[in-house]
Amino acid sequence: MKSTLSSSSKKWVYDAIARIEADYNRSADTHLIRLELPKAPGITLYLKDESSHPTGSLKHRLARSLFLYALCNGWIKQNTPIVEASSGSTAVSEAYFAKLLGLRFIAVMPYKTSMAKIDAIKFYGGECHLVSSPKTVYDEAARLAKETGGFYLDQFTYAERATDWRGNNNIAESIFAQMAYEEYSVPRYVVVGAGTGGTSATIGRFIRYKQLATELCVADPQGSVFHRHFNDRTLLEIETCTSLIEGIGRPRVEKSFIPELIDCMIAVTDHQSLTAMQVISQKLNRRCGGSTGTNIWACIQLIKKMIADGEQGSIVTLLCDSGERYTTTYYNDAWIEDKIGDCNSLKAEIEAII
C-alpha cells in the first residue's frame, strides 16, 4: 500500500504537530472567575475567562483543534495556503497558528468586521478578504481555496468534530475540573452562545459522558436562526441574521450546531445583550465583549427561575472575549445611543440580580 504522504512531507506534518503541541505545553489554562451574588443567596455565578488565551478569545481552542485535525488527516502540508470563512475571532486565532507553521493565511470576512480584529489578523501575517454579504463568506472561501491550491478549514462544518469531546483539556473538562472544590461543584446550568455550535456540542457531550445533572442552556441572539431551529427543526435558514452581537448567531443552521445536545435555548435581544455586557463589565471592572452580555442575560433569567423555585446552586458561563475589540462600537456611547438607545431601565432589572 502506498502512503499518501511521502517521507519528506510526513516529516513536515509531524514537525508541525510538534510545534502546536509545544506551543500548548508553554501555555496556561484560562481562569474560572467566581462572582458572588449577594442579591441571590445560595446561587453563585462563574465565568470561564476565555479572553485570556494568547489570541484573546475561545476561538484559540477551536483554531488549535482545527489545525491538528487537518494535519492528522493529511489535509494540510508544507506550503498549503490556509483559507477560512469567519466573522473575525476565529480568523485571528487561525492566523496565529498559520504563522506558527509558516503557512499563508487568508481570512474571508464580512466587510463590517471590526478593525481591531482585522489588525490582529494582519499582525500575525494573515490576509483579509472582505465580502459585502455575510452569507457569501462560505462560497468565497471555498473558491479562494480552490484558486490558490489551498485548504478551507471550514470551522462551521468541522468545529464539533475537531474537538476531542471526552477530554484532552477541552473547555468542558477544564470547567468541571476547576469547579471541583466549589460548594456546588456540579453546576445547575452551563450557559453558552453558539457561533459554530462547537462549544455547546463539546460541553453537551461531556455532560452526558460524565453522567452529570447539569443542564446545557444556549443563549442565542433574537435575530439568529439557531433558537428558531431548536423549536422547529425544519427551519434551516433565514434571510439575514440582524443581530449586532459579533461571534454568535447565524442566518444558517451550521453543520456544527447539534440541537439534540441542548436542554434549553433563550433568545436575547441586542438591547438585553449589550446592557448585560455593560453591567457585567462594571462588576468585573473590565470590558467584556457582546456575546458575554448575551450569556449573562440568559444567566439572569435562569437565576430568577432558580430563586422562584427555591433552588440553590451554581451557574457557569463564558467570558468569550474582551471588550477591547469593540471600542468603536459597544464601548462607544454614540454608537450605543444610535443602535439601541437608553439602557437605564434594563440596567436596573439586571442589577436587581447581579
Stretch that binds ligand PLP, among 51-59, 108-116, 132-140, 259-267 (CB under 6 A): 51-59
- Nearer to ligand PLP by Cβ, of 40 and 171: the residue is 171
Give yes or no for residue 53 binding ligand PLP (CB under 6 A): no
Q: By rule CB under 6 A, what count of residues binds ligand PLP?
A: 18
Give yes or no for residue 291 binding ligand PLP (CB under 6 A): yes
Encode the chain in three state secondary structure: CCCCCCHHHHHHHHHHHHHHHHHHHCCCCCCEEEEECCCCCCEEEEEEEHHHCCCCECHHHHHHHHHHHHHHCCCCCCCCCEEEECCCHHHHHHHHHHHHHCCCEEEEEECCCCHHHHHHHHHCCCEEEEECCHHHHHHHHHHHHHHHCCEECCHHHHHHHHCCCCCCCCHHHHHHHHCCCCCCCCCCEEEECCCCCHHHHHHHHHHHHCCCCCEEEEEEECCCCHHHHHHCCCCCECCCCCCCCCCCCCCECCCCCCHHHCCEEEEECHHHHHHHHHHHHHHHCCCECHHHHHHHHHHHHHHHHHHHCCCCEEEEEEECEEHHHHCCCCCCHHHHHHHCCCCHHHHHHHHCCC
Give yes or no for residue 198 binding ligand PLP (CB under 6 A): yes
- Nearer to ligand PLP by Cβ, of 80 and 224: the residue is 224
CB 163 to ligand PLP: min, Å: 9
CB 71 to ligand PLP: min, Å: 20
- Nearer to ligand PLP by Cβ, of 262 and 346: the residue is 262
Give yes or no for residue 197 binding ligand PLP (CB under 6 A): yes
Residue of the chain from 134, 187, 193, 221 that contacts ligand PLP (CB under 6 A): 193
Stretch that binds ligand PLP, among 15-23, 54-62, 220-228, 272-280 (CB under 6 A): 54-62
CB 257 to ligand PLP: min, Å: 8
CB 139 to ligand PLP: min, Å: 20
- Nearer to ligand PLP by Cβ, of 51 and 80: the residue is 51
Give yes or no for residue 320 binding ligand PLP (CB under 6 A): yes
Give yes or no for residue 266 binding ligand PLP (CB under 6 A): no
Provide the binding-site residues for ligand PLP, judged by CB under 6 A.
57-59, 89, 159, 193-199, 247-248, 289, 291, 320-321
